[in-house]
Amino acid sequence: MFNEISHQDKIILPDLSFWACHGVLPQEHEQKQEFRLGVTLILDTCEAAESDDLADTVDYGQVYRQIEKIMMGERHNLLESLASEIAHMLLADELVQAVTVRLEKCAAPLAPMFNAPAILEITRTVADYGL
């Protein structure tokens, strides 16, 4: 899948946490719940390694702020839709060649009186979004 990628260097943000309203059920539209998110960005960091300049790599502080904007923004019914929007946004950076988004709804209401984590992980490349 990553044949076209010259280097598979990674920037990993493993454990981001957000309280937000996403989900299909009516109570999920109004009551915030915890989501944990991990992202792995695949990119070539050779230029940044040489220059030691932030402009030559991905600023993970900015990545966090972009993810936060999506997580706290428009509500999504499905984790699939939410993870895809995050992946698409991260791949808009021309340095990022592929991204994996791991999204966990920490207490998904699976049945009355039973909450359990629901986890989705997707991997996308620039080709998946025609970028």
pLDDT digits (tens, 9 = 90+) for 52-85: 999 999 999 999 999 999 999 999 999 999 999 9
CA distance 103 to 120: 5
Kindly report the pTM of this predicted structure.
0.87
Rounded distance between C-alpha atoms, residue 97 and residue 54, angstroms:
18
Q: What is the pLDDT of residues 5-57, one digit of tens each?
A: 566 899 999 999 999 999 998 888 888 999 999 999 999 999 999 999 999 99
Q: Which domains does the chain have, with CATH numbers?
A: 9-129 (3.30.1130.10)
Asked if 10 is an active-site residue, the reply is: no
CB 42 within 8 Å of CB 98: yes
Annotated active-site residue in 10, 32, 69, 105? 105
Q: How far is residue 16 from each of residues 10, 24, 95, 101, 108, measured CA to CA in Å? A: 17, 22, 22, 11, 17
